[in-house]
Amino acid sequence: MAEESRGRSLRPRDKGNVLVLGQKTPILPSIEAVAADADPVKKKKNKTKKRTKTKTKTKTEASNIHSVDGFDDTQKGKGIQLTSTTQTVAVKFEPGPLSSSYDYRSRSRSRSRSSSPSKRAIKSTADMVHLSPRIEVVARKKAAGYGYTLEDSVARLWDRCKEQPSIDISKMEHVSSRDLPFVERTLDSALSHAADCFDDNVHESQWITKVIAPILLQLEQTAPFNSPSRAPGNDAIRLLDIRDTIISPDDLVPASTKELYKDLDKKIGLALGLCLDYTTKKKVDERYTSINQTEAWTKYAPLFLNIEVKKTNSPVDPVVQLGAWTAAEFLKRAEHGWDMTRPALGLAIEGHAWRLHVVVAKEFDAEDEDGNQVKDFKLACIGPTTLGTTEDEEGLQKLFANLCHIVGWARTEFLQWFEREVVQPLM
């Protein structure tokens, strides 16, 4: 209790009497002072001399008073003064425990950071070139000039999505007569809610709840996609809400090559993945702790479409988080020696617009810190191309048709790559 009491107050120290802050302390006159009072001349001289000594003493002691780190500079070199009827005393206080409302450690860290340049957050795609692995955004028509090429099946998927016209839902190849009323009801509701979300400028989470998730869940429940095409099979799809799932372990997080940038956000919004059957999942579990860039409940889901959501005119480009998340996927592939030529798909949703990006890797020879030859890679985020929009009925119909094309690609081309690289070596 004694230590706690000392930590909550500042008491001046004096060798004789205890001085209490804020109170006037009487000073007893000396014998010489009493004698001097009898002589008017001496009395006047003593008063003049006493005033001079008091000023000198106060100035000298005040200059020697300790300062406490964390107080404003205006407090340094100043003491707490006690005033009596005859003398002003400058009281020193020593650094020690302070009140519990003052966080010395946090203030100390804050002061030390302020002396160095503050780090910037990566908000634009132009800053992504300062990451490791390096990520650059390239238009599709310029990709070849930078040495990036799309794998054939992805190139066909891209062209099909780009050229997809608006089509009546009843004529879509993946929508059966049984599913048609459910799809129509879902898209009508999404169209209405999208208008409300845009008008009210709502948060991303509201866009997900009212517009995006219902469309993707309808895609998951559509007959061709909600069950395996063979038994056992790994081509049923599911929607994953991964807003609380981070990139893990930390060595998969793309690092900044300069000290000017803060750590990237390790999360995205949603993902579409394949469902592994029991036999496959058991084999994978015996060999790997995870097959993607997470270690949470999603760790055994082959993710084929990564999705980041932003409201209209967001200050942060959704491609930044998509790029970081996808870079972690390629770092995971490199860790296990899986094929790097298969592109990864990313979907950036900003308000009404749904835009597809394709991330491809380019390997090159490099040297490590010891001068040994190693393989390294950099990434290009190619695109975008617009899949559709929730702004009007035609755009929404085109969007759903293109999402069906992407799922069809995932259940064939992507699944073949996954089973060849990850599953077959375990059998």
What's residue 114's pLDDT? 33
What count of Cα atoms within 13 Å lies in the side-chain half-sphere of residue 402?
Answer: 27
Of 161, 100, 139, residue with least CA distance to 399 = 161
Q: pTM score, two decimals? A: 0.71
Tokens 């208008």 sit at which residue? 195
Let me know if 389 is exposed, middle or buried by CB neighbors in 10 A (0-12, 13-18, 19+). Answer: middle
Distance CA 254, CA 252 (A): 6
What's residue 21's pLDDT? 44
CB burial readout 184-196, b (16+ within 10 A) else e: eebbeebbebbee
Let me know if 267 is exposed, middle or buried by CB neighbors in 10 A (0-12, 13-18, 19+). Answer: middle
What's residue 14's pLDDT? 43
Give the angle subtended at the CA of 72 by the CAs of 68 and 73, to the nearest 5°.
90
What's residue 126's pLDDT? 78
CB 93 within 8 A of CB 61: no
CB 346 within 8 A of CB 379: no
CA 410 to chain CA centroid, nearest Å: 29
Q: Could you list the mean pLDDT of each consecutive 10-residue stretch along the chain, which spans 427 residues?
A: 40 42 48 51 50 46 41 42 44 37 28 45 76 89 91 96 89 90 96 96 95 97 83 88 93 76 76 95 94 95 97 85 93 95 96 97 86 89 96 96 96 96 92
Distance CA 187, CA 169 (A): 10
What count of Cα atoms within 13 Å lies in the side-chain half-sphere of residue 414?
Answer: 25
Question: If residue 193 lies in a helix (H) or strand (E), which one and from where to where?
Answer: helix 180-200
Handedness of CA 259, 262, 263, 267 (dihedral sign): negative
Distance CA 383, CA 271 (A): 19
Task: List Cβ<8 Å contacts ≥24 apart for 201-204.
Answer: 201/311, 201/312, 202/311, 203/311, 204/269, 204/309, 204/310, 204/311, 204/314
Of 409, 385, 408, 18, residue with least CA distance to 175 = 408
What's residue 371's pLDDT? 85
CB 78 within 8 A of CB 65: yes
Q: Which two tokens stand for residue 391?
A: 């702004």
Q: Which two tokens stand for residue 418?
A: 């996954």
Give the number of residues written for the chain: 427
Three-state DSSP state, 149: coil
Alpha helices in 100-179 (DSSP H): 104-114, 152-163
Provide φ and ψ at 307, rounded to 5°: -130, 125
Rg of the chain's alpha carbons, rounded to an integer? Answer: 36
